[in-house]
């Protein structure tokens, strides 16, 4: 599965001169955790997150303020609070690599680009929703792909918690390898294996 299969597109973006308040409203309205920041040519130059927007924008309650609290001036525009430069990945990035980047960098969202133009975004929530796909839906999609490749009536498919087991009625190692790759490209598949029906019967 690739980033293009999972990303939200088109993606809502903001400009450096967009007000921080407007950016916060967009995040709240759409339930996002981050917004890519683009220039006049729609090229990615940064990202603004929930954390960026709340930093310094909630004043200390004066009734409970202590001397060690220093006043923080909140940025008024996105350019004052955004993270730049920003990491981005291409539409062809393997989701496994993208997920590892989200975890390693401890970020919630990854902009997806075509060249330097933002074409989508993938969040941790997007990944979790895919992992939560119903096994029946996964099996249906795997079966559809395999039937296009090798014909109907040839494959038996079982899915449990995203793990796919394929049984091939024909003894063809190459076709089973392709079947496994096709299954792995289906959203929600965690792992896949393929076996020859004759071997299954001899177990």
Q: Among the three residues 112, 131, 150, which one is the final residue of a domain in this structure?
A: 131
Predicted confidence band of residue 70 (pLDDT cuts 50, 70, 90) = low
- pTM of the full structure: 0.74
Domain count, the chain: 2
The CATH number for 77's domain is 3.10.580.10
* Model confidence pLDDT, tens digit, residues 151-180: 999 999 999 999 999 999 999 999 999 999
Same domain, 167 and 100: no
Average pLDDT over residues 121-143: 93
Where is 51: in which H helix or E strand?
Answer: helix 50-54
Q: Please tell me the distance from the alpha carbon of residue 22 to that of residue 84, in angstroms, as a whole number.
A: 19
Give residue 60's pLDDT: 57
CB 122 within 8 A of CB 7: yes
* Model confidence pLDDT, tens digit, residues 78-123: 999 999 999 999 999 999 899 999 999 889 999 999 998 999 999 9
Give residue 71's pLDDT: 46
How far CA 164 is from CA of 69, 94, 203, in Å, comes to 55, 19, 19
Give me the domain span that covers residue 124.
Answer: 3-131
The CATH number for 175's domain is 3.30.1340.30
* Model confidence pLDDT, tens digit, residues 18-67: 999 999 999 999 988 999 999 998 899 999 999 888 875 555 556 655 55
Same domain, 159 and 74: no
Q: Does the N-terminal peptide bond of residue 85 adopt cis geometry, omega within 30 degrees of 0?
A: yes
Q: Please tell me the distance from the alpha carbon of residue 110 to that of residue 100, in angstroms, as a whole number.
A: 11
Where is 177: in which H helix or E strand?
Answer: helix 173-184
For 124, list phi and psi in degrees, rounded to 5.
-60, -40
Beta bridge partners of 36: 47
């Amino acid at each position: 599965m690739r980033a293009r299969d999972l990303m939200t597109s088109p993606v809502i973006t903001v400009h450096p001169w967009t007000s921080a308040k407007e950016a916060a409203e967009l995040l709240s309205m759409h339930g996002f955790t981050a917004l890519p920041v683009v220039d006049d040519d729609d090229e990615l130059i940064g990202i603004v997150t929930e954390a960026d927007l709340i930093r310094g924008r909630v004043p200390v309650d004066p009734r409970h303020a202590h001397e060690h609290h220093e006043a923080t001036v909140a940025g008024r525009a996105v350019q004052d609070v955004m993270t730049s430069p920003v990491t981005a990945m291409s539409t062809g990035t393997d989701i496994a690599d993208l997920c590892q980047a989200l975890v390693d960098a401890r970020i919630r969202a990854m902009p997806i680009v075509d060249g330097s133009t933002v074409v989508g975004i993938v969040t941790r929530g997007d990944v979790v929703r895919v992992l939560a796909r119903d096994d029946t839906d996964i099996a249906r999609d795997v079966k559809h792909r395999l039937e296009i490749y090798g014909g109907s009536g040839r494959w038996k498919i079982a899915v449990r918690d995203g793990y796919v087991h394929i049984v091939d009625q024909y003894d063809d190692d190459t076709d089973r390898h392709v079947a496994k790759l096709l299954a792995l490209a289906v959203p929600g598949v965690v792992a896949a294996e393929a076996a020859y029906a004759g071997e299954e019967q001899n177990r």
